[in-house]
Amino acid sequence: MRRRNFITLLGGVAAAWPLVGHAQQGDRMRRLGILMAGAESDLHYQADVAVFREGLQKLGWVDGQNIRIEVRWAGFNAETMRRYAEELIALQPDLILSNDTPTTATLLQQTRTVPIVFATVADPVGSGFVASFARPGNATGFAVYEASLGGKWLELLKETVPNVSRAVVILNPATAPFADNQLKSINDAATSFGVEVSVAHVHDVSELEIVVATRAREPNSGLIVLNEDFMIAHRAEIISLAARYRVPAVYPFRFFAELGGLISYGVDLNDNFRRAVPYADRVLRGAKPSELPVQAPVKFELVINLKTAKAISIDIPLQLKQRADEVIE
């Protein structure tokens, strides 16, 4: 189901949803906090929360009846995120669902006792959130990255535009402190694809155009946009610049391609939030996060925007279109 259709549909479903789950209606009121990195107005993040809420309701957890759900939206602001983390922890919740790497890091800086389930963390071990996938502590959840993904992005860039010989990885070091695995995977694949890889650091929106314009002046260049909060927050600007300067770019999630990005490949984020529901259910019933191993991503999506390809004069190979989970005409 498309994200853009999901929330409208959910509104009608939620009102009529039968309370068929197995939460004990006589239990004390549970309290669940949700800390989201993005803005409340962002439909992508709204859809993730909606999927999670729907899953809980299927299991009988009804907000206002046997559970109180408190959602905080950080709007990609580090200080707001810290303040909201403090607020949620002060509520002494039975569980906090954290959205991604920055939200999880912020929570773990403030508590090692409140149970945390994270939905989309890039590198749980490298980030220091867990000792290993099999031995988490008071935080457990779901990874959004696996070791070969960076190489796959480079492969897709080369397959989409065979004459690409330069690839620039764009990221904000302030919001991507755990990007090493992604960069290593890209660099490891560079030789086999005959592509020279470099990294461009951006720190604010004004620097984005400099990077994209510079790539446009270099022949046979393309962009790889990393999975990190700055890139997600400013996806509209990045996509617009890539189109204006006619630079082919590969993005980490479906919603980039839906917004006009050329091609995206990455984890189905809705699926990760859906998979987080049983973990939340078990913790709410008394299980410890340390009893629930961290899980790797399982569902990936390849999305191609043919309208964008046509606009920048790129002919997408037939075999690539045939492999795609969705082709946007």
DSSP conformation class of 218: S
Per the rule left: phi > 0, alpha: psi between -120 and 50, beta: everything else, 246 is: left
Same domain, yes or no: 211 and 87: no
188-230 per-position pLDDT tens digit: 999 999 999 999 999 999 999 999 999 899 999 999 999 999 9
Give yes or no for residue 184 having a pLDDT over 50: yes
40-96 per-position pLDDT tens digit: 999 999 999 999 999 999 999 999 999 999 999 999 999 999 999 999 999 999 999
Same domain, yes or no: 59 and 101: yes
Strands (E), the chain: 30-36, 67-73, 95-100, 116-121, 139-143, 166-171, 196-201, 221-225, 249-251, 263-267, 300-305, 326-328
Same domain, yes or no: 26 and 136: yes
pLDDT at 177: 75
| Boundaries of domain holding 203 | 149-266+301-328
- The radius of gyration of the chain from alpha carbons, rounded to an integer in Å, stands at 20
Same domain, yes or no: 57 and 38: yes
Give yes or no for residue 13 having a pLDDT over 50: no
DSSP conformation class of 198: E
Same domain, yes or no: 83 and 168: no
Same domain, yes or no: 160 and 215: yes
Decide: 271 and 120 in contact? Cβ < 8 Å. Answer: no
pTM: 0.88
Q: The domain that contains 47 carries what CATH number?
A: 3.40.50.2300
Lowest pLDDT segment from 14-23, 29-38, 147-156, 166-175? 14-23
Decide: 36 and 233 in contact? Cβ < 8 Å. Answer: no
Same domain, yes or no: 137 and 204: no
**Count of the separate structural domains present in the chain:** 2
Same domain, yes or no: 153 and 217: yes
pLDDT at 1: 42
CB neighbour list of residue 213: distance below 8 Å, 6 or more residues apart:
241, 245
Same domain, yes or no: 93 and 188: no
Distance CA 90, CA 81 (A): 14
Same domain, yes or no: 197 and 235: yes
